[in-house]
Structure 1
Amino acid sequence: MISDEFYWKDISKVYRKDSLNEKDFTDLCKSYLMLGSSVDGYFLHVCEPYLVNAASEKEENKEIQKEVEMALLALSAVEQWDVARPQASHLNDTIEIIKYHQEHHNLTRLGYQSAWKYLNNRYYFDFELGEVVSDELHFMREAARELDELARCVDWKRKEGDKREREREEEYVLLRWLLTLEHFLRVCFVQNEEYVGLIGSIMSVFRASRDKNKNISFLCILSLEHSAKKRFVRIDYLLSLGVFDSFLEEIQRSTMDDEMAGEFLEFFESISRRLKGKGDDEMEEAKRKTTKRKTFEWMEEEGLESIIINFHEEIDFFNKRNHHLSLDVTDYFVNA
C-alpha cells in the first residue's frame, strides 16, 4: 500500500510542474482535510501555507469570502495530536486573520470559530502562544460574547422536528464553540480575569439547553467540570453563579444520564479536594477557609452529603466508564 507521505510528495511534485494551478491544489488540500479522519504530517507541511494564504484574503467579495471560510474550516479539521509543531509564520498569519476580523467583522460566525479552533489546536505545542490567545486576542472574552449571541438566536422552545435552516446553523456553530472551549479549559493554565465571564456564559447556555439539546448541555457540563479543577478559578464564584445548585438539581433527576452523573460527581470531588488543600500564603489561606465555610453551609442546607452517599454503589460503575472517582465518599465532603 502506498503511504500518505509518498502520495503527497508525488502530488506536490505534480503541482510544482504546473499541472495544477494554485487554486486547484488548495481545493485538493481542503477536500482531503475535511474528508480525512487523520492528517499526514508531510501533507500538512505541504498544504498548510496554501490554506492559510487562502484564509488571509481580505477582498470583500462573496466568492472570495466563501473560499476564506472553506479554507478556515479545513484548517480547523486538523486536531492537535495529528501533527508536530506548526510553523510560526502560519500561526502569525492566523493571529492576523483573527485580529482583522475583530476590527472589521469580515468573517461569518463559522469562519471566525474555525480560525479559533485551528489556533487553539496549535497552541498545544506552545505555552507562549497560549498567553497570546488569552491576553492579546482575548479568546475567553470573544468566546463568551459568541456564546451569548448564539444562545439568544437559537429557539430553544421549538420542537425537534421544527428546525429552520438558520437555527440549525447557529446550533452547529454553538456546538463547535463548546467543543473548542472544552479542549481549551482542559489544557489551559493561563490565568486571566476574563475567565469568570466565560464561565458565566457557559452556565447560561447550560440552563438554556438542558432538556433541549443533550450534546450542547453535556459539553457545558464538561467545561464547567474542567473549570472546577483550576486553582485560579474561584470556587465562591462558581457557587454564586449557581453552578452548584444546577448540578445538584440535575444529579437528582430520575432521567439522569450515567455519563452526566459521573461528571457531576467529578465536579464536586474536585471542589472538595481544592478546599481541603492549603493556601500558599496567609491571604490565600484565609480566602480558602471562608469559601470552605460557605460551601459547607451550602452542602448542609442542600443535603449534598446524603445525595453523594446514595451514589456510592454506582461509583465503581462510573469508573468503568472512564471516570476517575474516589471510592471514599468522604472525599466529596469539604468538612472531612
Structure 2
Amino acid sequence: MSMQMSVKSQFTKFTELFSELENCSEIEQKQKIEEMNKRMNKMNKEELCSVFTNGQLDRLNKMIEERKISLESAIPLLKHMGYCKAMKDFLGTSLCKSYLQERFEKMIVEEKKKKNEKLLFDLCECYISLYESLREALFSICVPCLLKVALNKEESEENQKEVEMALLALSNIRSYHRVGNGLYLNGMTEILKYHQKNHNLTQLAYQSAWVFLISRWTYNKCPNSNVLNELHFVGEATRELELLSKCVYLKKKEEERGKETKVEILLLRWLVIIVFYSQNAQIHGEEFVKLTRCIIDLCRAAKGNNREIQYKCFSFLYNIILREAESDGCVLREEAVDFILEEMHGPTIDNEVTTLSAYVFYNFSRILSRKKEKMNNLISFVWFAWSWLKGKAKEENEKENQKMMLNRKLREKMEEEGYEDIIVSFYESHLERSNFFGLPEDLNYYFIHHKES
C-alpha cells in the first residue's frame, strides 16, 4: 500500500508542477521541468501511461499556441517523456493522436526547408519517440536526420547522449511501419560495425540500433539474413545478455518487487527482439546453442523475481522447440525440452507459463508423431539422385538419422519425466478454467501417439 501511495504521489506532484508551468518565468519553467523529469523517472508503467492519456500533450500544445511556454522550453520535457515511454516499453499502448502531433508534422516539413538542423533533430526525435501512429511520408526526413546524429563518432559525453537518444527514438518505429531500405541500411550497418570495433555506444544505444534493424527485417524484407549474419546478431545478443545478467540482481525483497532497474529494462528489451528474431530466423549453429543456454540460465534466475523476463525466456524456448525443421541436430530442442520439463515439475507455475508449456508440448507431440516421409514421386527421386552424385545424400541421411535418434531420446525423456501425467494435471487444474485459446480440449492431442519401432 505504501509503495502504491508513493507512486501515486509522484504522478500527483507531476500534474501539480505541470499546471504551474503557464504562470512561471522561463527560468522557473526550466526548474519545474527538471523536477517533472525526475518524477517521471520514479513512475511505473501504469502511472507513466497516465501522463500521456490525461490530455497533457494537448494541454502543452495549447500553452505553446498561447505563448505561455516556448517550444524550446518544452522540448526537454517532451524528449524525456519519449525516453521514459521507450524505457517503460509501452508496447501495445495506444497513444491517441494529439494536436501537438499535428504541430510536429507541420513543423518538420517547414524546418526541413529552412535547414535548421538542431531544431529539426529535436522535432524528429520528439515526434518519432512519442507517437505510435506515424506518418510514413515523414520517414524520408526523420530517419536520415536521426541517423546523421547517430553517425557522429565524437567521444564527448554530450554527443554520446545525443546518439543514444537518436537511436532510442528510431527504435520506437514499430515493425509494421515501412521504412525504405535506402534510408537506413548503410548508415545503421556502419553504426553497428563501428561499435563492434571501437565500443563507442552506450548499452542502450547499441540495443536500440538492433531493435530498429530487426524490426525492419521481416516486414521490409530487408536486411536479409546475410547482413544479420555479417553483423553477428546472435553472438552479439548472447554477449550483451551475459554482460547484463552479471549486473542485475533479480532476487529482490518483497518491497522492491515491481521496481525495474535500467539493467532489467535492457534485458527485457533484448529478449523482445530475440524472441521476434527466433520466430523468423534459421535456427542452427553453435551461436544459437550458446544463446539458448544463456536464456535458460536467465530464466532460472528470473523465476519468481521478474515475471516479464521469465515469460519472454519461455517464449524464446517455445520458438526454439517448434522450429524443428530448421534445426541442425536438434541440440537446441533437447536442452529447451529438458528445461521446460524441469519447470513443469515445480510446485508453482505461472498461468501464462502454463499456457505456453501446453502450447509447446501440444505442438511438440505432433512433431514427434510425424512419420518420416518417403520419396514417392519422380521429382523427389531426381533430387535424391542429384544429391547423391554431389556427395550430399549420405550427409543428409546421417542428419535425418541423428534427428530420429534424438527424437527417440526426447520421447523417452518425456515418458521418464511423466510428461503425460503433468499434462493431465494441467488439464484438470487449468485448461477448463482458463482461456487456452487455440488449444484442443481433447487430452489425446497432448499425448505422443506414434511410437517408433
Pairwise TM-score range, normalised by the shorter structure: 0.7 to 0.9
Q: Which amino acid aligns with 1:112?
A: Y
Q: From 230, 235, 244, give the equivalent of 1:150.
A: 244
2:279·2:319 contact (CA, 8 Å) conserved in 1? yes
SS in 1 for 2:161: helix
| 1:306 alignment partner, one of 405, 410, 421 | 421
Identify which range, 219-228 or 251-260, moves more after superposition. Answer: 251-260
Cα gap change, 1:278 to 1:54, in 2 (>3 Å): farther
The answer for the alignment partner of 1:221 in structure 2 is 314
C-alpha distance 195-88 of structure 1, shift in aligned 2 (>3 A): farther
The question of whether the paired residues in 2 share the 8 Å contact of 1:86 and 1:122 is answered with no
1:130 corresponding residue in structure 2: 224
Instruction: Provide structure 2 residue ranges, at least 5 long, that are not aligned to the other structure.
Output: 1-96, 374-395
Higher RCO (C-alpha under 8 Å, 6+ residues apart): 1
Matches within 5 A, 1:230-245: 230=323, 231-233=325-327, 236-238=330-332, 240-241=334-335, 243-245=336-338
1:39 and 2:134 matched: yes
Identity over the aligned pairs, expressed in percent? Answer: 35
Contact 2:274 2:316 in 1 (8 A): yes
Aligned residue in 1 for 2:110: 14
Q: Within the alignment, does 1:292 sit opposite 2:388 as a pair?
A: no
Q: 2: distance between equivalents of 1:187 and 1:39?
A: 25
8 Å CA contact 2:424, 2:443 repeated in 1 = yes
Within a 5 Å distance, the mapping from 1:76-95 to structure 2 comes to 76-81=171-176, 83-95=177-189
One-letter amino acid matched to 1:184: Y
User: What does 1:152-171 correspond to in 2, within 5 Å?
Assistant: 152-161=246-255, 168-171=261-264
- 1:241-252 map, 5 Å: 241=335, 243-252=336-345
Q: Given the superposition, is the C-alpha separation of residues 210 and 303 from structure 1 closer, same or farther in structure 2, using an over 3 Å criterion?
A: same
1:113 paired with 2:207, answer: yes
| 8 Å contact kept, 1:295–1:334 | no
**Cα RMSD for the two superposed structures:** 2.8
Equivalent residue number for residue 53 of structure 1 = 148
Tell me, yes or no, if the aligned pair for 1:134 and 1:190 is still in contact at 8 Å. Answer: no
Partner SS, residue 306 of structure 1: helix
Match of 1:268? 361
TM-superposition CA deviations, 1:96-136 (whole Å, max 9, x none): 10000000000011110000000000112344523134310
Check the 8 A contact 1:33/1:78 in 2, yes or no: yes
Q: Any conservation in 1 of the 2:146–2:167 contact (CA below 8 Å)?
A: yes
1:68 to 1:109, Cα distance in 2 relative to 1, 3 A: same
TM-score under structure 1 length normalisation: 0.87
Does the CA-based 8 Å contact 2:136-2:179 persist in structure 1?
Answer: no
Give 1:330's aligned amino acid: N
Alignment of 1:60-79 (within 5 A): 60-79=155-174
Aligned partner letter, 1:14: E
Question: Residue 311 of structure 1: SS of its match in structure 2?
Answer: helix
Name stretches of at least 5 consecutive residues in structure 1 with no aligned partner: none
Q: 2:32 maps to which residue?
A: none
- Contact map agreement 1:269 1:331 (CA 8 A) in 2: yes
**Distance change >3 Å, CA 240–CA 12, structure 1 → 2:** closer
Q: Which amino acid aligns with 2:159?
A: I
Q: CA deviation at 1:240?
A: 4.8
Q: In structure 2, do the counterparts of structure 1 residues 145 and 77 end up closer, same or farther at CA, with 3 Å as the change threshold?
A: same
Deviations 1:197-228 (A, max 9, x none): 21111111111111111110110001110111
Aligned partners of 1:126 and 1:252: how far apart in 2?
Answer: 42
1:210 aligns with 2:281: no
Structure 1 position 331 matched with structure 2 position 445: yes
Seen in structure 2, the aligned counterparts of structure 1 residues 305 and 131 have a Cα distance that, compared at 3 Å, is same
Verify the 8 A CA contact 1:196 1:233 in the aligned structure 2. Answer: no
1:180 aligned partner = 273
